[in-house]
Amino acid sequence: MREFSGSLFGVYVGGVKVECEISADFSVDVEMLPASAIDSGRWVENIAGYRSWSLSVNGYMLLEAVAADGKSLLDAVLTGETLAIEFRTEPTSVDGTYIIAGNCLVQNFGVGSSSEDAVSWTVNLVGTGPFTTTFIPAA
């Protein structure tokens, strides 16, 4: 087993890599519902409730038109479009390809600029339904 660089992971929307991505964070949450049982002396126990997931992505804004970038994610806010996303390793970069995939909606989108840095954007994608994980070993 070996670790690999975060630069080998990328976000894809509809099968197209998001251009100029700086960073991405995938997270899963499980709502814990309190319960109690006589067997535990009425100590609080938890039951797993609703599960949710999200993907936060940051990138640099591009002026030229590309298939998937910050502008296309902003457009998804306006259309309310459900996006098919993959957060995955590059196919030839490691000993296989690891993929987290699911459908999501854009929860929020922001653009930031300063006089000394490139214009950047940030988006939070919230899963609608389950996600899947897949590992495809290298040939």
pLDDT per residue over 16-41, tens digit each?
Answer: 999 989 999 999 999 999 988 888 88
The domain total for the chain is: 1
Question: Length of the chain, please?
Answer: 139
pLDDT of residue 26: 96
Across the chain, mean pLDDT equals 89
HSE-up (13 A, CA, CB side) for residue 116: 0
110 neighbors 73 (Cβ within 8 angstroms): no
In a domain, 1, yes or no: no
pLDDT 10s digits, 105-119: 999 999 999 888 889
User: Is a pLDDT exceeding 60 seen at residue 46?
Assistant: yes
The residue whose two tokens read 């590059």 is 90
Those residues whose C-beta lies under 8 Å from the C-beta of residue 21, and which sit 6 or more positions away, are 10, 11, 57, 58, 59
CATH code for the domain in which residue 48 is found: 2.30.110.20
